[in-house]
Structure 1
Amino acid sequence: MSSIYKHKIGVIVDSFRLGVKEGLIKSKEVGADGVQIYAVQGEMDPDNLSTAQRKEWKDFIGSLGLEISALVGDLGGHGFQDAAANAAKVEKSKRILDLAVELGTNVVTTHIGIVPEDENSAIYAAMHKACDELSSYATSMGAYFAIETGPERSAHLKHFLDQLSSNGLSVNFDPANMVMVTGDDPVEGVYNLRDYIVHTHAKDGIQLRPVEARDVYGMLGYDKNEGMSHETMALLAEQGEAFREVPLGEGAVDWPAYLAALTDIGYKGYLTIEREVGTNPSEDISKAVQFLKKLQGQ
């Protein structure tokens, strides 16, 4: 096995459930190098931030010695499957990317919805059109919208990305989503998506029984809901009968092999810890930081 590159370690601030400012302080305390922040609603929504406030946040984060690895721009629902809703979602996504660049990062992670198998379907066409517009906009900014892995197998996601006009739509690689939902192999996924990985989530999990991706993420026309809420997905990951999110190193992700694969493809971005379940996220995240540092010989 090749030696493992010493990646910087990030933390999703919102995982602490303390609010942004306290979460940033806590991120520094647990030894993170950088942070990822939700920018969809609340105090970090670009619609709620003046130019002065943006500078204040950037300066505060810098004063802690932290970088921003990415912003989270997941707008929920069915991603970009609904053509009627896409114009507003695309515009909102662009404003989140503008904020990201202003704060010093060029990555916004998001979910686009399950990519259908049928390339002739209306849903596939709607997703392709919206994603191509986002991809072009990101490329014009020297930035990326990074799709989180999990709803479909990596080879199928690669095929969809290959059809876009630029790589402005790339990948936020989450190995836990793959093992929990599709049963995909994260190492194989790294090699399949090697040209697109710009950010990763450090999360672990196990699959308890085969699960239909549409039952987890929702699908336009498949269910009566507007897609699975983030909170509902977290509840499934904690209490569900199909899969469980578990602390790093306790699940089905082969971390040494996975990190070696990232090294092999030349990935030098962040490993950003996401902890969506558990009663003591601060302790879990602190242990996860130490787990990754030890694994990387830090």
Structure 2
Amino acid sequence: MDLQVKLSNKIGVIVDSLKLPLYDGLKKVKEIGADGVQIYAVDGTMAPENMSPQARKELRNFLDSIGLEISALCGDLGGHGFQDAVLNEEKVEKSKRILDLAVDLGTNIVTTHIGIIPENQNSNIYEAMQIACEELGVYAKSLDAFFAIETGPETASRLKQFLDSLSTNGVSVNFDPANMVMVTGDDPVAGVKLLKDYIVHTHVKDGVQIKAVDPKDVYGFLGYGGGVDHEKIAEMVSSGAYFRETPLGHGKVDFLNYFNALKEINYDGYLTIEREVNIDPVKDIADAVKYIQQFKH
């Protein structure tokens, strides 16, 4: 393999992927050689309503003490994302509080899924998503922060069209190449170049598509069989009937060209490892850190 990319990006880990208590997971991330962590901040002890000022300070102090930083928070509220206008007021407010928490913890990025963006720009669902994202984009911008949509549920071109319709770049992109490979069949390298003005965070994950799958069956769509939660997605991944997540370098993501594309667009943010298969996550993630390190100076 030609490893001439020479990345200088920091390496992150979604700490929840390790399936350890938070502070144990943070220590493990440091031990396996990563620079930062992404943390789910939707429910439990990390939910913004449960994070007192003291708890926020303690977490920041602990991260500082072991030499880690937060690459992003994950604020994915599940269900249909922002497709349902009836639920959006509550979801937008919760998302704003997660953005506030992110800033308090020293990061300016919250990643999420917003639901599949419809092809029909005149649909009620498209309008509901647009109104919610416009409000969140303006709010994020006021904090000098980003609410970053994860790639995968739709093609990069449809996502860019949606983002271009908003008044700010406060809503941007968390680029996940494996979601494209496994679900839409979109080309991650072309996607990076198309979305270059919006990419603020990335996931490093690999996978293969076994047979074509309707993204609505993976991510859910309002009026189409109900929303699909993360446990269901993990079950689909592990069953391998339609697509399969793999260790880095064993799937269909062309990491050499993917990393080259990120370098070409001058992306200098985190490469954050996500692992949704839970057989031996600590070993998988440690191996993933080593894999990415091959491409660094």
- Quick check: TM above 0.5? yes
Match of 1:68 in 2: 70
Distance 2:11 2:53 in 1: 29
Tell me what 1:220 maps to.
222
Distance in 2 (CA, whole Å) between partners of 1:140 and 1:87 is 19
> Percent identity between the aligned chains?
62
Q: 2:287 aligns to what? A: 287
Q: Look up the match of 1:188.
A: 190
Which runs of structure 2 are paired with 1:1-298 in the superposition (5 Å)? Answer: 3-223=5-225, 225=226, 227-297=227-297
Q: How many residues align?
A: 295
CA shift for structure 1 position 144: 0.1
* Runs of 4+ deviating beyond 3 Å: 1-4
Range with bigger deviation, 227-236 or 79-88? 227-236
Q: Distance in 2 between matches of 1:292 and 1:108?
A: 23
Letter in structure 2 aligned against 1:93: S
Aligned-residue Cα RMSD (Å) equals: 1.0
Task: List per-residue Cα deviations over 1:216-262 (Å, max 9, x = no partner).
Answer: 10100111x2x111011011111131100000110000001000000
Structure 1 unaligned residues grouped into runs of 5+: none
Q: Deviations over 1:191-238 (max 9, x none)?
A: 010000000001000000111010110100111x2x111011011111
Question: Residue 153 of structure 1: CA displacement?
Answer: 0.4
Query: Which residue type is aligned with residue 252 of structure 1?
Result: K
Shift of 1:179: 0.2
| d(CA) in 2 for partners of 1:88, 1:201 | 27
Amino acid in the other structure paired with 2:40: Y
2:107 aligned partner, one-letter code: T
Contact 1:5 1:268 in 2 (8 A): no
Q: Distance in 2 between matches of 1:4 and 1:295?
A: 5
Q: Does the CA contact (< 8 Å) of 2:11 and 2:34 recur in 1? A: yes
For 1:152, the aligned partner's letter is E
Letter in 1 for 2:296: Q
- SS of alignment partner, residue 287 of structure 1: helix
Report the 3-state secondary structure (helix = DSSP H, G, I; strand = E; otherwise coil) of the residue aligned with 2:294: helix
Which consecutive unaligned segments of at least 5 residues does structure 2 have? Answer: none
Shift of 1:111: 0.3
Instruction: Note if contact 1:4-1:259 (Cα within 8 Å) is conserved in structure 2.
Output: no
**Residues 87-125 of structure 1: per-residue CA shift (max 9 Å, x gap):** 000000000000000000000000000000000100000
